[in-house]
Amino acid sequence: MEVKVKPESRKLAIGLCTYKRPQLLRKCLESLFQMNKPEGPELCIIIADNDPEGSGRQIADELNSNNHIPIYYQIEPEKGIPFARNKVLNTAKKHGITELAFIDDDEFADVNWLSSLWYYYTSREVDVVWGWVRTIYPPQTPQWIIEGSFFQLPKNSSGQIYSTAYTNNVLFNFSKLVLEYGLYFDEDCGLVGDDEDFFMRAVKCNAIIHYLADAVVYEILEDKRMTVAYYLKRLFYMKNNKKIFQKQNFKSRLKILRSGFIDIPRSILSLIMSLLTMKKSRFVLGIGFLVSGSAKISGFFGIHIKWN
């Protein structure tokens, strides 16, 4: 593969959206200051606080004054993660950013996170590099969650090509995707799906996305997520997202429909196994397949339900 050579005068920003989680924000930022820095690019951090009262400002100001990586802190009063992500993009534009990485405010970075992303990105013909998020389970985590790995994304093979990515651990060519292609996060996507949609549209513009297993960030599972209801509700929203369906062509929607019908027998099999093994993880998995299948099938037919 031909090596991609980029100019040395690169400006790399780490984008970070936050909302009323100052202590998690502090942990995330501290990990960024402690990690190994990639060689070459000028580095900064852009924070978009979705709290109009600026609950993260004090943390940002304190760490900004004591560290060598500048922090640009902005408030995005319009509630919703797509608005906050677009605030990061607009701020990056103002500061002449050429490459942009994203990490979530409830995550913290491995010491080699950004340097791994940057090395892979600069040595290959790719536009987006998506890394692995490792979930850390606190002692109070229910056993069914651990057994079923319900909140753990799989670790895939490095170099694998993807048709989308997520902002929980990613680095991309800002000059190309935002300045050249004009891509922004869809503010009508709602609670989930705007980042998946963003990178899907990037691929339609011929962007290349690779996965990198060595670029790791860590996420501590929050107490509020440790319920069956939370897991099923989020699963339904992800599989039934109206905006995602609207932007798929008919062939792609048929694939989703087929996947939905496949989920039904998988649900039945898992529920039977739950009776045989008496494991709650198997039962939740079975209900999850049922919810996933129902979400995909109803989405294909234009039925998008609000689950309160």
- Are residues 163 and 275 part of one domain? no
- Are residues 113 and 77 part of one domain? yes
| Residue 2 forms part of a structural domain | no
pLDDT digits (tens, 9 = 90+) for 36-88: 999 999 999 999 999 999 999 999 999 999 889 999 999 999 999 999 999 99
**Which of 232, 96, 257 has its CA nearest to residue 151?**
232
Residues spanned by the domain of 257: 228-300
**Residue 198: its H or E element:** helix 194-204
| Domain closes at, from 225, 246, 261 | 225
Q: How far is CA 262 from CA 75, 89, 298, in A?
A: 44, 38, 14
**Which of 30, 216, 25, 226 has its CA nearest to residue 139?**
226
CA distance 49 to 31: 19
Spatial CB neighbours of 238, under 8 Å, sequence gap ≥ 6: 192, 193, 295
pLDDT of res. 141: 97
| Domain closes at, from 225, 247, 269 | 225
| Residue 261 forms part of a structural domain | yes
Tokens 């609950």 -> residue: 55
- pTM score of the predicted model: 0.91
The number of distinct structural domains making up the chain is 2
DSSP code string of 101-118: EEE-TTEEE-TTHHHHHH
- Are residues 214 and 79 part of one domain? yes
pLDDT of res. 8: 57
| Domain closes at, from 166, 194, 225 | 225
pLDDT of res. 191: 60
Q: Which residues of the chain, if any, have pLDDT below 50?
A: 1-6
pLDDT of res. 3: 35
| Residue 124 forms part of a structural domain | yes
Secondary-structure percent of the chain, ordered helix, strand, coil, rounded to 5: 45, 20, 35
**DSSP bridge pairs for 220:** 136
